[in-house]
Amino acid sequence: MDDTPSCQLYLISPPDVGGSFPGQLQSALDAGPVAAFQFRVKDLETDQAISLAEPLKAICDAHDVAFVVNDNVVLAKELGASGLHLGQGDMPLKQARAELGDDVQIGITCHDSRHLAMEAGEGGANYVAFGAFFATQTKETLYRPDPDILKWWSTMMEIPCVAIGGITPENCPPLVKSGADFLAVSSAVWNDPRGPGRAVRDFYEQLNKA
């Protein structure tokens, strides 16, 4: 019997993925089902990014977790990544699809915009991401959607939606109930003083209640 909840975790890396981070990722993925891990590290030369990403991708591969690269088509191609995540200011979806082919999952940030989400869905995105739903220090945010956008999307479209922004085990239930297919989380896992494994288990307990 499959006990994976209908809404799943999508982990996003912290800015520093060197040092002890591979062990933290291992601990997080050992703790419960995780659908995807996004490598979100900025301003690195491709060779340096590859050297940091390869051991993390190996851990993800061993756990059957999709490895997603943030906004870098060249890196995604070099690593043979499962997916690519694009912001509104990144390479156009059509161009990225031409570069990577149909087997790579491509997701699009849509902020709080139903229009951008519809455009992404019609353009062939594999998922859309809405947020930030809560205050977050991970990155600067200008948009604060209402959870109703998740309900609207899940009613209208079959393409999965991702909720992002300041999500914790305590505040995630309304997002799950509104129809989020994935919760994208970063600091709530990596900055948990008890360790990332405990944080993933806390999320998993909430997701199983939904």
Residue 173, token pair as written in the block: 């239930």
Task: Return the residue matching tokens 């360790």.
Answer: 195
Given a contact cutoff of 8 angstroms between Cβ atoms, the answer to whether 145 and 117 are in contact is no
DSSP letter (8 states) at residue 89: T
pTM: 0.96
Sequence letter at residue 42: K
- Which residues have CB under 8 Å from 19's CB, separation 6+? none
pLDDT digits (tens, 9 = 90+) for 50-73: 999 999 999 999 999 999 999 999
List pLDDT tens digits, range 130-185.
999 998 876 667 789 999 999 999 999 999 999 999 999 999 999 999 999 999 99
Q: Which domains does the chain have, with CATH numbers?
A: 8-68+127-209 (3.20.20.70)
Say which residues have a Cβ less than 8 Å from residue 121's Cβ, sequence separation at least 6: 128, 157, 159
Which pair of tokens denotes residue 30?
């050992």
Torsion angles phi and psi, residue 158, rounded to 5: -90, -15
